[in-house]
Amino acid sequence: MSAIRFDGVWKEYGDHIVLERITIDVAPRAFVALVGPSGCGKTTFLRMLLGEETPTRGRILIDGKPLRPEPDADRGVVFQRYSVFPHLTVLQNVLLGRELKESKWLGRLFGGAKRAATEQAMVLLDEVGLKGHEDKYPSALSGGMQQRLALAQAIMRGPKILLLDEPFGALDPGIRSEIHELMKRLWNETELTVVMVTHDLSEAFRLASRVVAFERHRNRPEERERYGATISRDLEIYPRRTAQPRPPLSIRSGRDDPAEQGA
Ligand SMILES: Nc1ncnc2c1ncn2[C@@H]1O[C@H](COP(=O)(O)OP(=O)(O)OP(=O)(O)O)[C@@H](O)[C@H]1O
């Protein structure tokens, strides 16, 4: 569970102001959808939260502490494409999430730790509907399956915050609604705080507990670079959670699993 605070954040690239005066508090376990016209800085916001970009002014706090400047295991991310490794099998892709977290230098687990992680990965693959596909490579999976794999890989790392950048944008409508159900379930059953960029308003309202719109108030061509986008709408949607998070099983947190600690 993590609370996020953007406190008077600006982001500029040279003379180009992308975002200005962004102040927002996100409660732990919220699901925030970021919407707005193309180029208004949604991905830039996400990348600052991931630690890939730093604010030009202002500060970002996670649970009251300044954001660490580089990506870490507390923040998982799923992009529209290329989130999984093509040369690793489905199971290896999910295991990698845990291996990179637990064994930073070698990137591999051995013995009991590996067995425990494999068991957890198999449970997670079952949850996301990829049971039976463990030994396939991503190229043998449909787009929807690849994104379910990307979600499993991100969740296997036990992040507190999950960042989604148009994760379902490239999927067909039928597959999209299936994965929406999965996403809702994962969010309901975990303690994740989710921040998702989407172009699709109906997706935003279907999934999120809060919809935040970015907009540039001055949009004449000569003004575009000198004024950034700000938050123009901030809509709380009624609480969407239907379940309490289950006990910290394997994949859901990856932090408190006794099997793993004893391994
Ligand atoms: N590394 C960078 N250097 C310079 N300009 C950048 C950089 N990254 C982003 N920008 C500029 O910042 C602006 C916002 O980009 P961003 O990708 O955040 O917008 P977006 O709202 O996510 O757009 P879209 O909806 O089209 O994905 C764009 O004008 C982009 O060109």
43 CA distance to ligand 1 middle (Å): 7
Residue nearest ligand 1's atom 16 by CA: 41
Would you kindly state where each structural domain of the chain is located, as residue ranges? 4-84+160-262
Give this complex's ipTM: 0.96
Read off the pLDDT of residues 145-189 as tens digits, 9 standing for 90 and up.
Answer: 888 899 888 888 888 899 999 888 878 888 888 888 888 888 888
Read off the pLDDT of residues 183-227 as tens digits, 9 standing for 90 and up.
Answer: 888 888 888 899 999 999 999 999 999 999 998 876 666 656 677
User: What pLDDT does residue 46 have?
Assistant: 92
Reported as a pLDDT band with limits 50, 70 and 90, residue 74 is: confident
Distance CA 99, CA 121 (A): 11
CB distance 215 to 37 below 8 Å? yes
Q: Which of 44, 63, 58 is CA-nearest to residue 193?
A: 63
If one counts every other C-beta atom within 10 angstroms of the C-beta of residue 69, the result is 9
Residue nearest ligand 1's atom 9 by CA: 44
User: What pLDDT does residue 108 have?
Assistant: 66
pTM of the predicted model as reported, rounded to 2 decimal places: 0.84
78 CA distance to ligand 1 middle (Å): 18
CATH code, residues 4-84+160-262: 3.40.50.300
Q: Which of 27, 45, 20 is CA-nearest to residue 160?
A: 27
Residue nearest ligand 1's atom 2 by CA: 13
Lowest mean pLDDT across 14-28, 187-201, 231-245: 231-245
Probe ligand 1: pick from 44, 80, 81, max atoms within 8 Å of CB?
44
179 CA distance to ligand 1 middle (Å): 27
| Residue 40 CA, closest ligand 1 atom number | 21
Name the strands in the sheet holding 229-236, side by side, starting at the edge strand that comes first in the sequence. Answer: 65-66, 57-62, 4-13, 16-26, 229-236, 210-216, 31-35, 193-197, 161-165, 75-79
| Residue 45 CA, closest ligand 1 atom number | 18
Distance CA 241, CA 185 (A): 9
More reliable by pLDDT, 253 or 177:
177
Give the CA dihedral 220, 11, 194, 256, nearest 10 degrees.
170
